[in-house]
Every structure is written in structure tokens, then in C-alpha cells.
Amino acid sequence: MKLKANWFALPATLIMVLLVFLLLIVSGNTNLSYAASASKKAPAMERKTAAEYTEIQIKQLEGALNFTDSQKPLWNDVTKVMRENAKETDARHEARAKARAERIEKNIKRSAVERIKAHTENTEAYLAQMKKLLPPFEALYNSMSDQQKIITDLLFETGKYGRHGRQSKRGRR
């Protein structure tokens, strides 16, 4: 009798083990290269340089505002400053990236004070660029027609990613 009980138990156990094994295979990840690819880092996203982004902005503004012949010299003054500012920005970004890479290589962490100083330097550089841009832009803006001013105001109101500031949630007032 014991032999008959074992005879039925063994195949039943084997069938259960086989079913569990098949279930694990079907429900598991069938991509065998998954483990190898999980340790690889994703490629870094290509980021536009400030110079590239500035050229895009210049083309967008030129297309939207249709400058007159008398406004073109004023517009050229604005684009000259925009391009200079973009070159300065790219140089700052490269210097910061190089300094960051050196810190990472040497495993050096910046203190909170160093971070605030760096942020202050970047903010001051940005402010200097805006101060340099304002006079030629103001001269151009003052030469614009009412329609051009409306378009310019709208373009500068919406910013890079659409509405921002107070109007982003509540809509236009």
C-alpha cells in the first residue's frame, strides 16, 4: 500500500514543480539581456548651447515681428548683444562643467557657502548681461509699431515653456 501512495505522490509532485517552473518562466522577464543592460547608464541628453538657443530665439523674433528697414540696424544691435551674451554664458557653463568634473574626480564636495557664492556669481553675470541688453532692446522697442509691441509683449510674457508666474494658474487678468 505504501508503494502505491508513493507512486502517486511522486508524479503529482513533479507535475506541481513543473507547473511552478513554467509559471515563473512565463511571468518573468524573458529578455535575457535585461540584467546586462540594467547596469548601463542611459546616454546623456544633448542640450542646446546658449548660442544655439539664441539663434533659435533670433529667428523666432525675426519671423514674428517683421522688422522694417529702419528697424533692422536697431535689431542688429540687439542680436549682437544677444550673441555676445550667449558666448559668455557658454563659456561660464564650460568652466562650471570642468570645475564640477574636477571636483567629482577628486571627490570634493562644495560647502553651502561655496554653493551660495557660485550662485551669486552666476546671478551677477546674468544681471550684467541683462543690463547690457536693455539699452539696445529699449531703443528697438520704442521704434516698434503698436502691433509689433503687442506681439513682443506676448512673446516675452509667455516665456520658454508657455505661461509662467502668477498668470500660469489663474489665467490672464
- pLDDT at residue 158 tops 80: no
* DSSP sequence for 16-51: HHHHHHHHHHHHS---TTHHHHHTSPPPPPP---HH
- The CA–CA distances, whole Å, from 100 to 27, 43, 96 equal 44, 19, 6
Mean pLDDT, rounded, for 47-51: 89
Q: Supply the pLDDT for residue 155.
A: 87
Q: pTM, whole model, 2 decimals?
A: 0.65
How do the domains of the chain map onto residue ranges?
50-58+67-162
CB-count burial class (<10 Å; 0-12, 13-18, 19+) for 155:
middle
Residue 157 has pLDDT above 60, yes or no: yes
Residue 2 has pLDDT above 90, yes or no: no
At 46 the pLDDT is: 77
Say whether pLDDT at 164 is over 70.
no
Q: What is the 3-state secondary structure (H, E, C) of 102-167?
A: HHHHHCCCCCHHHHHHHHHHHHHHHHHHHHHHHHHHHHHHHHCCHHHHHHHHHHHHHCCCCCCCCH
According to the model, what pLDDT value does residue 92 have?
A: 95
Q: What is the greatest pairwise CA distance in the chain? A: 110
What would the pLDDT profile of 24-44 be if each residue is shown by its tens digit? 666 665 555 555 555 555 666
Give the model's pLDDT for residue 173: 44
Q: Is the model's pLDDT at 171 over the cut of 60? A: no
| Mean confidence (pLDDT) of the chain | 82
| Residues 84-115: tens digit of each pLDDT | 999 999 999 999 999 999 999 899 999 999 99
Q: Residue 126: its pLDDT value, please?
A: 95
* pLDDT at site 10: 61
In percent, the amount of the chain with pLDDT more than 70 equals: 68
Contact by Cβ (8 Å): 155, 64 = yes
Position 72 pLDDT exceeds 90: yes
Instruction: Say what the pLDDT of residue 170 is.
Output: 47
